[in-house]
Amino acid sequence: MQDQPQQNRRDFLKLGALAGTATLGTLATGCFSGDRVVITTMTERDPLRTPAMKTVRIGFVGVGGMGTNHVNQLCKVPGAEIVAVCDVVPEHAKRAQDIVEKAGFKRPAAFDKGPEDYRRLCETVDCDVVYTATPWELHVPVCVAAMNAGKHAVTEVPAAYRIEDCWKLVELAEKHSRHCIMLENCCYDRVEMLFLNIIRKGLLGEVLHGECGYLHDLRGVKFSKDGEGLWRRAHATRRNGNLYPTHGIGPVANYMNINRGDQFDYLVSMSGPSRGLQLFQQDKLEKDDPRRAEQYVLGDVNLALIKTKLGKTIYLVHDTNLPRPYSRINLVQGTRGLMKDYPPEIHIEGRSPGHGWQKAEEYYAEFEHPLWRSDKVKQASGGHGGMDYLENYRLIQCLLKGEPTDMNVYDAAAWSCLCEATERSVAGRSKSVDIPDFTRGRWKSWQPLPIVEA
Ligand SMILES: NC(=O)c1ccc[n+]([C@@H]2O[C@H](COP(=O)([O-])OP(=O)(O)OC[C@H]3O[C@@H](n4cnc5c(N)ncnc54)[C@H](O)[C@@H]3O)[C@@H](O)[C@H]2O)c1
């Protein structure tokens, strides 16, 4: 693993060359996709925008726990149609086919001929987008196969866990002018969207600090004999850092305009001892269970401190091996007050009494995000309290209208690269590690995410 981030090797050559031929700061690129040439644009104001579509046809790779959830949501999203599904477990593919057919669509084609069959899906199916909700190792290979076949790529979290792979996704998305989107559902949860709206309305003043993380007792999931138990625990045997940063950092990055006015600069990270999974082995597994022989290196609690280019600070935690209630912390502090979650509470100078908290509930009447107010969304909501529907709804809306997506390849890369950045810092006695700027300076002109209507 190299110590230096990779951005020096990537010097904006391709986009620089394109910019030379563009007018008024707009990059217009032609890309051959199947039998049609599509015109796509990227401007100083907007990241990638692709032509409007009538229907978004989807090939879906990996229909286990989360993939099946997405299939259910997408069947309810106007304008989306799942035309193919792929899984190494044929029953999983069949289950997804049944869901789509029962929802009134044509039965999607199944690709269940082994671990590489997603390539055949990418290369042969006439679709616009390839989604993947596979184990972490497969996100990059599936996205790469999709983009090389002229499709947009959509992946579950994290998009990648190696910095080199984050660059690969960015470079390929730019080369082919394809979207490569990581679905970070927590950006769409009700409290996160309330906080974003309050920040945009200026109540918090200038945002200076965030605290976030993924604090979830996953011991049962990691030792399950199906689903994530088949692959997730293995990462704890060889990696020590923050393995799952995006649920926490995604919303905070939006509050702090990361990639859109500010940028991550560097981090330091520290992991504590590894005890939780070992104790679970001893307490819960049969004496002859081969998993008792596994050894783990993942510290139960990993902490990171991130400094942004504008000098702001973020505290990020990963804590998934110990008994504890669920939390993503979700704290954001500005010059005029602060907001936090678990439970959701707000203190705004001049509004909140003394130095005390108010329940966030009191702010919904005035500051509920328009997407959460919308009947269209409320009626169809589902999955993790509604946010899983909303993230798919927004993505499909943006693709249908030809608008820049809320989350883009630069967000996927910036949020996901924290996996390796924390691992490098931990391995180096908490040394400071530079965080690559995948936008190559364009964060200075890209605009903060707007508050959108349904
Ligand atoms: N955003 C969220 O809230 C959330 C929640 C759960 C999981 N996830 C993410 O979703 C992804 C999947 O997690 P999960 O819980 O659904 O896991 P899972 O193990 O239940 O599902 C993975 C599916 O991929 C299939 N698969 C494995 N190798 C394959 C291959 N080569 N080709 C095609 N299919 C293959 C498996 O058979 C399985 O059906 C992970 O990235 C995870 O981090 C996100």
Tens of pLDDT along 238-251?
999 999 999 999 99
Q: Which domain holds residue 339?
A: 187-369+406-444
Total domains, the chain: 1
| 41 — pLDDT class (breaks 50, 70, 90) | confident
With a 6 Å cutoff on the Cβ, whether 198 touches ligand 1 is no
pLDDT of residue 40: 82
| pLDDT, tens digit, 9 for 90 and up, residues 270-288 | 999 999 999 999 999 999 9
User: Quick one: tokens of 112?
Assistant: 């269940």
Within a domain: residue 138?
A: no
Within a domain: residue 240?
A: yes
| 8 — pLDDT class (breaks 50, 70, 90) | very low
- Which one-letter amino acid corresponds to residue 411? D
pLDDT of residue 423: 98
With a 6 Å cutoff on the Cβ, whether 388 touches ligand 1 is no
The pick from 66, 73, 225 for probing ligand 1's pocket by mutation, whose C-beta has the most ligand atoms within 8 angstroms, reads 66
Query: Does 34 have pLDDT greater than 90?
Result: no
* Nearest residue by C-alpha to atom 38 in ligand 1: 64
Q: Write out the DSSP string of 385-447.
A: GGHHHHHHHHHHHHHHHTPPPSS-HHHHHHHHTHHHHHHHHHHTTT--EEPP-TTTTGGGTSP
Ligand 1 nearest-atom number relative to CA 63: 39
Output the domain CATH number for residue 311. 3.30.360.10
Within a domain: residue 393?
A: no
Q: Strand pairing of 109-111 and 80-86? A: parallel
Within a domain: residue 385?
A: no
With a 6 Å cutoff on the Cβ, whether 116 touches ligand 1 is no
User: Quick one: tokens of 264?
Assistant: 């991550």
Within a domain: residue 68?
A: no
Report the separation in Å between the CA atom of 186 and the middle of ligand 1, taken as the mean of its atom positions. 17
With a 6 Å cutoff on the Cβ, whether 67 touches ligand 1 is yes
Report the separation in Å between the CA atom of 64 and the middle of ligand 1, taken as the mean of its atom positions. 5
What separation in angstroms does the CA of 59 have from each of 81, 116, 126, 337?
9, 15, 9, 45
Within a domain: residue 67?
A: no
Query: Does 405 have pLDDT greater than 70?
Result: yes
Query: Does 23 have pLDDT greater than 80?
Result: no
With a 6 Å cutoff on the Cβ, whether 71 touches ligand 1 is no
Within a domain: residue 454?
A: no
Report the separation in Å between the CA atom of 162 and the middle of ligand 1, taken as the mean of its atom positions. 18
| pLDDT, tens digit, 9 for 90 and up, residues 439-451 | 999 999 999 999 9
| pLDDT, tens digit, 9 for 90 and up, residues 191-206 | 999 999 999 999 999 9
pTM recorded for the entire structure: 0.94
With a 6 Å cutoff on the Cβ, whether 157 touches ligand 1 is yes
With a 6 Å cutoff on the Cβ, whether 110 touches ligand 1 is no
| pLDDT, tens digit, 9 for 90 and up, residues 54-87 | 999 999 999 999 999 999 999 999 999 999 999 9
* Higher per-residue pLDDT: 31 or 224: 224
The pick from 118, 120, 144, 156 for probing ligand 1's pocket by mutation, whose C-beta has the most ligand atoms within 8 angstroms, reads 156
Over residues 11-17, mean pLDDT: 36
Within a domain: residue 103?
A: no
Name which of 3-7, 129-133, 294-298, 436-440 the model is least confident about. 3-7
Ligand 1 nearest-atom number relative to CA 117: 32
Report the separation in Å between the CA atom of 326 and the middle of ligand 1, taken as the mean of its atom positions. 21
How many C-alpha atoms does 26 have within 13 Å on its Cβ side? 9
How many whole angstroms separate alpha carbon 342 and alpha carbon 373?
22
With a 6 Å cutoff on the Cβ, whether 59 touches ligand 1 is no
Q: Is the dihedral of CA 66, 131, 235, 414 positive or negative?
A: negative
